[in-house]
Amino acid sequence: MEKKHFLIVIDMQNDFISGSLGTPEAQNIVPAAAEHIQQRRGEGATVLATLDTHGEDYLSTAEGRKLPVVHCVRGTWGWELAESVAAALEGCELVEKPGFGSLYLPERIRELAGDGAELSIELMGLCTDICVVSNALILKANFPEADISVRRDCCAGVTPELHEAALKTMASCQIDIV
């Protein structure tokens, strides 16, 4: 049986890189992330990218009350993908998600892979300790037999310590850290 390879690029958006929730660590991974996306596309992987997507009412949402920093409001510069990442993702499917994890991703992967396919799913992006870990665990729960990995050098957390903690959490859930 043929193995289907997927690369999931999580929230490589301006607000998480140099905008309202940006960090130096996030800025530092952008070149490697764009290069890795191009490499995996060249190898034939199916690439999907998520977009953290909020409305003008963000501060009145449950997330906004706990994280009162307006970010990734649809249509703003902060919501857009970083320029080099957007170029690497040109023509790839973008999946908007209103919160940390996308319940649509497993459904879409099933549609694209077909029934009974062996899967290899690699994740990368921002932030390791929030959206990357959320999506990795959702995918692991949906595809327990799939090879699931997270690319350490193409992820950044809210802090370096939280990045490392999230990597350890994912590794303890049998997700490979590469």
* Continuous segment of H or E residues that includes residue 14: helix 14-17
CB-based contacts of 15, cutoff 8 Å, min separation 6: 21, 22, 52, 71, 72, 78, 79
Show the domain range for 167.
3-177
**CA 116/CA 4 separation, integer angstroms:** 10
Task: Give the pLDDT of the chain (178 residues) as one tens digit per residue.
Answer: 689 999 999 999 999 999 999 999 999 999 999 999 999 999 999 999 999 999 999 999 999 999 999 999 999 999 999 999 999 999 999 999 999 999 999 999 999 998 788 999 999 999 999 999 999 999 999 999 999 999 999 999 999 999 999 999 999 999 999 9
| pLDDT for the residue numbered 47 | 98
**DSSP 3-state of 111:** helix
Amino acid at 111: E
Assign residue 154 the CATH number of its domain.
Answer: 3.40.50.850
Q: What is the DSSP letter of 75?
A: T
Q: How many domains, in total, are found in the chain?
A: 1
For the stretch 10-41, what's the b/e string if a residue is b when 16 or more beta carbons lie within 10 angstroms of its beta carbon? bbbbbbbbebebbbebbeebbeebbebbeebb
What's the whole-model pTM score?
A: 0.97
| pLDDT for the residue numbered 2 | 82
Amino acid at 143: F
**CA 29/CA 27 separation, integer angstroms:** 6
For the stretch 111-145, what's the b/e string if a residue is b when 16 or more beta carbons lie within 10 angstroms of its beta carbon? eebeeeeebebbbbbbbbbbbbbbbbbbbbebbee
| pLDDT for the residue numbered 119 | 98
